[in-house]
A and B are shown apart, each in its own frame.
Chain A
């Protein structure tokens, strides 16, 4: 795709953040939203990628390393480097960790469905990890803390009730390019910040290859489209390629369902989430 020179800087100016300001808000968010509902601890899936490494870092600062449990849940085709990166973060932060190889349970299931394609298997793995996270959260009396960023939530580049599931999410309003800046500033190892983003369903998988575009460009477009509410015509005038715009707009629209509760058939005068509206932090 093409974009004007002003849009091709390494970090798009409007997406630059003051990391200290954001860090303070997010650490406060974790502390507040966890403690006021009666918890002290969080569990998270630590993949060795930048998103979960950042969340682990923020959680350790907010609650203390002793109150953070990182679950490392590789499948046999996961890149071994992911696990060693995750362990590096665990060591650096001094948080608890538990390694659970999900291969046996995944393979036992797909032995009955050997024709399942890679996407189906990947979704199953994401949901397998989710059930482990929620099980461990019960056992450890902790909340599950999420790691989905704004870019992937908008694009629907995640598994509903899988990696998208959590009790609280500190990074869901940060675009990937903003998240990189914060991760770098709070001390996530540079090798993790700089490595190519991957869902790591198999070694060598790449988000940007699968999406067909670079995060840098996607985030610029999403910023204008979502935050600034530019029309498609206005986006074209900025220099974004039409096919690129159409693709991203479609992804945002088609994945709206992933960002919502299931649709409830309305019958009564007060239906949950439609006209029965209470804050999540009710009484806290």
Chain B
């Protein structure tokens, strides 16, 4: 951390080539070098940054296993700074996951397999991917973190669970295609994500790092708009346009403690009440005769 106790984060708002892992890996190396020069300590790439998003049948051929040369190269990216990137992971049993990987000091620290796979409208993820089955936080050199991939944040429970684990920051890599054109200056999608990210940060009194990609795939545009939000809901940094950019921000991690003193929402959260009520709802649902 910098002498002033603040964490330098970078969000790589990039445009990955669709299904060209080698080219994307090289671009990751370049961004890492650029970020290191800028003094970044935690660098976040978007969802599926190593492969591009609308892969369809390319999912299988874009996948990497946990062991092997490519994973070693990915580990190597984090020699000088922590790196979060997106890849298709193939498990030994040949299930494919849309995953976010957290690397630090040359090691793979945590993997989040996307739980909520959008399969409606323009999305078809469940046709190609297996779904993750957990939300878990993990310890980093900068406090406790949790990762959610894109659609995961459209389910309140995901961020809520991480919050109760006491995270200081939620990292959300995303490949959100823009849609919804009205008279507004921004796309409907951009408005919605801005609302969700700020709401989570403020309600859960946590830093929220949202890294969205840019570019086009098969006519769909990715709107960028990557943002860093503080635990009081303030936007610390935001990329307004949809161009490639390294978005930089300094996080005063002490803000989490101060915000939770001022607004002890987490302290007052009634976990046992929530569990009891959810259990009741579950029982009532499953007890239905048909």
A residues apposed to B, CB below 8 Å? 14, 16-18, 20-22, 24-25, 28-29, 32-33, 36, 168, 178, 276-284
Contact = CB atoms under 8 A, between A and B. Distances in A.
Nearest to B243: A28
Contacts of B186: 21
18 contacts: A14-B182, A18-B181, A18-B185, A21-B184, A21-B187, A22-B181, A24-B242, A25-B178, A29-B221, A33-B216, A168-B219, A278-B58, A279-B58, A280-B218, A281-B18, A281-B54, A281-B216, A281-B218
**Closest CB pairs A-B (n = 3):** A32-B216, A277-B56, A280-B218
Nearest to B127: A277
Contacts of A276: 57
B17 interface: yes
Nearest to A31: B216
Chain B interface SS verdict (over half): loop
A36 B216 CA distance: 10
B219 A277 contact: no
Given A33-B216, A277-B56, A18 B18 contact: no
A16 B182 contact: yes
Given A28-B242, A29-B221, A278 B183 contact: no
A16 B183 contact: yes
Given A32-B215, A277-B57, A25 B18 contact: no
A279 B221 contact: no
Contact of B219 (A17, A33, A36, A282): A33
Given A16-B182, A17-B183, A28-B242, A281 B217 contact: yes
Contacts of B178: 25
A282 B217 contact: no
Contacts of B18: 279, 281-284
Contacts, number: 65
Interface of B: 17-20, 54-58, 178, 181-187, 215-219, 221, 242
B104 to A, nearest CB: 32
Q: Most chain-A Cβ atoms within 10 A of its Cβ — which of B181, B185, B242?
A: B181
B56 A29 contact: no
Given A279-B218, A282-B18, A283-B18, 4 more contacts: A18-B183, A29-B219, A32-B216, A278-B58
B181 A17 contact: yes
A6 B3 CA distance: 62
Contacts of B54: 279, 281
Contact of B221 (A16, A25, A278, A281): A25
Given A18-B181, A29-B216, A279 B187 contact: no
B185 A279 contact: no
Nearest to A170: B219
Contacts of B215: 32
Nearest to A26: B221
Given A16-B182, A16-B183, A18-B184, A279 B216 contact: no
Contacts of A28: 216, 221, 242
A190 to B, nearest CB: 21
Contacts of A280: 218
Contacts of B181: 17-18, 21-22, 25, 178
Contacts of A36: 17
A274 to B, nearest CB: 11
Nearest to B23: A283
A280 B221 CA distance: 14
B18 to A, nearest CB: 5
Contacts of B185: 18, 20-21
Contacts of A17: 181-183
Q: Most chain-A Cβ atoms within 10 A of its Cβ — which of B19, B216, B217?
A: B216
Contacts of B217: 279, 281
B183 A284 contact: no
